Structure formats: structure tokens, C-alpha cells
Structure 1
Amino acid sequence: MRQTKPNRRQIFTVGAAAAAATVAASTQTATARPAATSSAEATEFAAATSASSGPYGSGVAGSWTNATRAISTAAQFQKTRETNGGFMFGDSIGVQDGKALAARLLSRSGTQLAVNNWSSRPSSGAVDALQRAASAYGLPRRVLLASGSNDIFDPPKFAAQVARAVSIVGQNRTLFWVNLQVVRKAVSAPVQLADQRNSSWLNMQLYDAQEKYPNLRIIRWAEWLWVKPYRLANYLRDGVHPSVPLGQDARNELIVQSLLS
């Protein structure tokens, strides 16, 4: 799963092509069968299906405080810190895939992973959780942020959250961040195009931050999907969440390879 570093033009060009391919595929399959949706994701991105597309075209973020979550116990965080494992902070993709990721990482290297994953949560909430964990337990040398899908509703605020996370992690640890690919199949074609535009915008902010912060490493999930057009349909079950097990295994393997490199 070789990863390449794109430039700004490539991010926009390939992202636009991905959006066109995904919108076309969604239009062709929309009447065949609905995308699978679990109760944990029933409210995910719900506000974007309203009449308003919001200031950036993807809709308006709804409340996430009562959404489904998967959070390790305090004892698990403490043990992971003491054994210098990894801390993960994510959204509904992490709620779905975090347990399998922790098992894969443990079996591969014996490395523990403590998680704080919360559906529908934007990166501001994930970084708040990172700050609380740093204060309560201290941090291991590896911190994983698998967040950003819910920032498509307000992309300009994302860069500040990346900077906050880098500051909290500090120069002597590595911050890993999984980048974004969001084109929801359940919304209209114009909103899908906005989703891809905003995903690319968020990814560009990550790459800009990487130029400033040498301890920030981007896990390039978006580029891995883009390089083979069929992956957008086969590895994402709803345009956001990885299919299980195909997409889940692929994304988790990218993450494990990065954490252990």
C-alpha cells in the first residue's frame, strides 16, 4: 500500500475526478438499493439532508453529544500510556473500525491502543478529548487523530484544530492524522460535489500543516482510494464509512503500517 505525497494541484484535480466518479456511481445505483446504515450512524450528517446546504454546500452540522461512542476506560488509557502504546481520537469511522484496528495493531507488534471515538464529532471535540487525555494520563509517543469527516460543514475552522493538536502532542511525539474522503451517497448530486470539494479543502489544510510541523504525519487514505476508481465504490459502503471487511481492513492496514514505521 505505497503512499505518495500529492501537491496542491493534484489534490484538487484528483479530488474533482473522484467526486465526478462517485456522483455518477451514486446516480446509477440510487434506485437499486439504499446504502447500509447502522443505528450508530442514523444521525450522522443528518443536518445536511435538510433544505439548507449551509455556507459551504455540505449542510449544517447537527448535535453530536448524544451520538454513539466507543471510549476506552481510564485504566486502559493508563496502561497504554505506561507501555508507550498509542492513543486514538476519532469519529463514527473509529466507532465502527477502532476495535478491529486495536486488535490488528496488538497482533502485529504487541502495541496497545486506547481509543476515544465519538460519532458525528468534529475535530474540535476530538482535540478537546486529546487535551483531557494529556492532562489526565500524559501522552504516549504516538497519537492518532482519525477525525475530519464532520468538518466538511465548516472547513475554515479545521486548520486551527490541527495546530491545537500539534501543540498538545508536543515536539517529542508523533501526531498521525488520517486524511479525508467524504462524498455521501444519500445526498443530492450538488451536495456530493460540495462534499468532495470540502474534503479536498480539509486535506490541503493537513498538507499545509505538515509543511510547518515535522512531527505531523498524514495517513493518506484519500489518495489510496483515488488511485483506483473502483475503490470508491467497493471500499466505502456509503461514501464515508469503510465497507466491512474490505474497506475496514484496507484503512486499518494503512494506519498500522504508519504507526509502526
Structure 2
Amino acid sequence: MSSMRPNRRQIFTAGAAVAASTVAATATATEASAATPGGPYGSGVLGSWTNTTRAISTAAQIQRTRETNGVFMFGDSIAIQDGKSLATRLLSRDGSQMAVHNWASRPTSGAVDALQQWASTYGLPRRILMASGSNDIFDPPKFAAQVDRAMRIVGPTRTLFWTNLQVVRKAQTATVQLADQRNSSWINMQLYDAQEKYPNLRIIRWAEWLWVKPYRLTNYLRDGVHTSIPLGQDARNELIVQALTQR
């Protein structure tokens, strides 16, 4: 009987299918037939991000976080929006400091570059949080190599926490939305494959939390990507804090 149990990939794929069907159900056939997907993977092409909004801790805060063995966070625009609330929640939960390097529209390659820079300049605490991947839907095949890079930088004695993703941009046509869902699931599966190789990689299952009750895709995401405030922000931050403080 045990051979008939669904494996992680089957469960994950089933959840993605539920999310994709929800996306399809909310779009009209006219949109689907008229849309012209952009880019090689249907979600479009990532634009320039180097001059976008960012939130980066001061050197003093980074040093203090490292010395007290707090948490380094590397994220994107979701992290910029939710990062201050997350740091406050973490501090109140177990007293941990957080230093952040969050940058809007940045793909994971840039986040891992920042991780490497901080590792070389400051050293790393025992917990690192990656809240990155939403901007990799434009080129999903490159994601796995960045996870490998991050794990090499972190090494085997620290824990890397990674928040998985759910991206379906409501402002886009039905065809692009379906590509977004497909590419989100593709990226998430690469995370799960990496977890098989790296026992110190911990995945924070934001996507699955949303899929369990499909209404959450609408109520907890304000635009299909960023969390609603306070509902989605509180839910996502709580998942992250629970993972970071679990003994």
C-alpha cells in the first residue's frame, strides 16, 4: 500500500493544478484567445531592476545582527513591503535581530550576489532567509543554479530558509496568467529538488498555504503577487517566523 502514496511532486503538482484552474476560471475566453504571450516562457521579459526601490540595512545593523546570530534576509519587492513587519514579529517572538538586503524586481541571481557580498564582508549568521524567486518567472531554467550557488555560500553548518512563491499577475491576460502559474510551479519544483540534495535547506510553503483554500489566492494577494495588508502580510510573515524559530 505504501507504494500507492502520492509523493511530494505529485502533491505539489496537484496543488498547482488547483491554482491554475482557479486562474483559468476567472478569465474570459476572449482574453485567452486574444493574448500574445511575451518572452520565451510566456510571462514576458524582466526589465531593468538596478535602479528600482530597495531596502538595505546599515553596516552597523548588519554587524549587530551577525554578532547576535540573528537573521540575514535577501528578498524582492514583497520583502520590501513586508520586511519591517517581519523584523518586528521576529524580534518579539525570540529576540532575534534581522538585517535585510531587499530590492524590487531583482531576480534571484542578484539576491545571491548580495549574499556572497555579505558573506565575504561580514560573515554569516546561522540562519539566512531567501525571499526571492517571484522575478524568476521570466526565465525559470536559471533558478536551480542560483539555489546551488546560495547553498555553496551558506555551507553545510547553517540553515537556509527559502520562501516559495505564487505569482499570477491579475493585470495580465489569461494566457500570461496561466504562464505565470506554470512558471511559479516550475521554480517551486526546483526548490523541492534542491531540498533533496541539501538537508539544511528549509522551504517555507507559502504557495501551498494559499492553495489549500483557493479563496486565499484572492484575499491574501492584492495583485496576484504581493500580499494584501494586513491579511496576507500577517499570514506570510507568521509562516516565516514559525520556520525561523522552530527548534
State TM-score, norm by structure 1: 0.87
Match of 1:62 in 2: 47
Distance in structure 1 (CA, Å) of the matches to 2:203 and 2:10:
18
Match of 2:197 in 1: 212
- Is 2:153 the counterpart of 1:168? yes
| 1:154 partnered with 2:155 | no
For structure 1, the residue ranges without an aligned partner over 5 or more in a row are 31-49
CA contact (8 A) 2:164 2:206 kept: yes
Per-residue CA deviations over 1:109-146 (Å, capped at 9, x if unaligned) read 11000000000000000000000000110000000000
- Give yes or no for contact 2:52–2:105 (8 Å, CA) kept in 1: yes
Whether contact under 8 Å (1:94, 1:117) holds in the other structure is yes
Distance 2:27 2:161 in 1: 31
Structure 1 residue 151, shift from structure 2 partner: 0.3
Aligned-partner SS, 1:16 = helix
In structure 1, distance between residues paired with 2:24 and 2:77: 22
**Contact 1:22-1:233 at 8 Å conserved across structures:** no
Where 1:139 maps in the other structure, the secondary structure is coil
Question: Paired residue for 2:89?
Answer: 104
Is the contact made by 1:22 and 1:232 (CA closer than 8 Å) also made in structure 2? Answer: no
Partner Cα distance (2:8, 2:172) in 1: 29
Q: Residues 19 and 183 of structure 1 are in contact (CA less than 8 Å); yes or no, is this contact kept in structure 2?
A: no
Counterparts in 2 of 1:71-110, with a 5 A limit? 71-110=56-95
Alignment partners' CA distance in 2, 1:147 and 1:250: 17
Post-superposition Cα deviations, 1:75-101, rounded to whole Å, max 9, x if no partner, equal 100000000000000000001000000
Report the CA distance between 1:52 and its aligned residue: 5.5
Q: Given that residues 80 and 104 in structure 2 are in contact (C-alpha distance below 8 angstroms), is that contact kept between their aligned partners in structure 1?
A: yes
Deviations 1:175-196 (CA, angstroms, capped at 9, x unpaired): 0000010000000000000000
8 Å Cα contact 2:23/2:178 also seen in 1: no
- How many pairs does the alignment contain? 236
Q: Which residue of 1 aligns with 2:13?
A: 12
Q: Is the 8 A contact 2:167 2:224 kept in 1?
A: yes
Q: Show the 5 A alignment for 1:1-261.
A: 7-25=8-26, 53-261=38-246
Change (3 A) 1:52 1:22: closer
Amino acid at match of 2:203: I
CA distance, structure 2, for counterparts of residue 15 and residue 175 of structure 1: 24
Q: CA deviation at 1:51?
A: 6.1
TM-score, with structure 2 as normaliser: 0.92
Q: Secondary structure at the match of 1:153?
A: coil
Q: Which amino acid aligns with 1:76?
A: Q
How far, CA to CA, are the matches of 1:200 and 1:135 in structure 2?
32
Offset at residue 6 of structure 1 (A):
6.5
**Aligned counterparts of 1:249 and 1:126: Cα–Cα separation in 2:** 23
Question: Unpaired runs of 5+ in structure 2?
Answer: 1-5
SS at match of 2:145: helix
Following superposition, the deviation at residue 219 of structure 1 comes to 0.3
Helix, strand or coil for the counterpart of 1:108?
helix
Name the CA distance, whole Å, in 2 between partners of 1:156 and 1:52. Answer: 18
Distance 1:257 1:194, change over 3 A: same
Cα RMSD over matched residues? 1.6
**SS of residue paired to 2:83:** helix
